[in-house]
Structure formats: C-alpha cells, structure tokens
Amino acid sequence: MKYLNLEDFDRAWIFRHKELPLSDDLKAEIKPYTEIVSNQLWNQYISQDSGHSSQFGSGDWPSRASVWSDKGDWQLAWDSEKNDLPSIILNHLDWDDNTNVLFFYDCDRVVETSWKVFKLSWKNFLFFDDGPILMGKKRKQVVQFLQNGNFAVGALPKK
C-alpha cells in the first residue's frame, strides 16, 4: 500500500476544518503517502541526512541560497477572503492543472495531489507551516513555506 486513506492521516483534520471546508471530490484527490513511502520520497527529493526542514544542514539543497530566486509573504493571502495563492508563486509555477505535486511536511509526511487541487486547498495544507516544501513531479520549480509567513521560490539544483 502506497497511500493512506485520508481519514487515517494524522493531519487529516486540516482537510476537514470547518473554516476552510473542502468538497468530498477535492478530498478524494488528496493522497497522503504511508510513512515508508514518505521516507523514500523525502530521501530521494529532499534530504538523506535531515528529517525535517528545521534540521537542514549545508549539504541539503534547501539550505543553499543559490536555490532560491525570489520570496514573498503567504500569510497575507492566507488571511484574506480570497483563495488565490500569492502571484509570485503562481508566476513561478507555470504548471498545468493536472501536474502531480508533492507536498513535503517532513520525512514521515508527504502528500500527493494535482496542481489544480493544491491551488484550491492550499490554505488547508498550510495549517502546518513549519517549512514544508512543494514541488511538482518531474519539475524543477520548488516553493518552501516558512512559519514566519514568508515563502521562497526557486529551482532544484542540478545533480
């Protein structure tokens, strides 16, 4: 089994929050990975040495300033009545709606959905905002959301 049922995900409440309701159709498209698969994806895409963004060291690509090209504030958009992601993020991520995206909370929690579903439910995803990273499968662009209400956009370094 590669995915958990959303109800079995330890952070599932963020997708059932009464202030930010999601339709059953949207929730069906939000797929948390099992811990084992999350660990594999984290090791493959994020870090083999650090289990959480707060632990990134100089060998981890997210800690390199050269990765990040722009930054902005996501908190203002999150607090607004509109559901739009900040324009810097939308301009940076020129993905088709059906692009598969991975949202990395930490080494044990990775969620897959489509870019379309993420754009519609991003506020729910950010109830946990302690450094998660968004990337598209087979894409170079990345975004990291920081707990202070800022974000950084950039590109994966070449291997």
Task: Report the C-alpha gap between 87 and 89 in whole angstroms.
Answer: 5
* Per-residue pLDDT reduced to its tens digit, 35-59: 999 999 999 999 999 999 999 998 9
Beta carbons of 115 and 93 less than 8 angstroms apart: yes
Query: Three-state DSSP class for 153?
Result: strand
* Per-residue pLDDT reduced to its tens digit, 103-158: 999 999 999 999 999 999 999 999 999 999 999 999 999 999 999 999 999 999 98
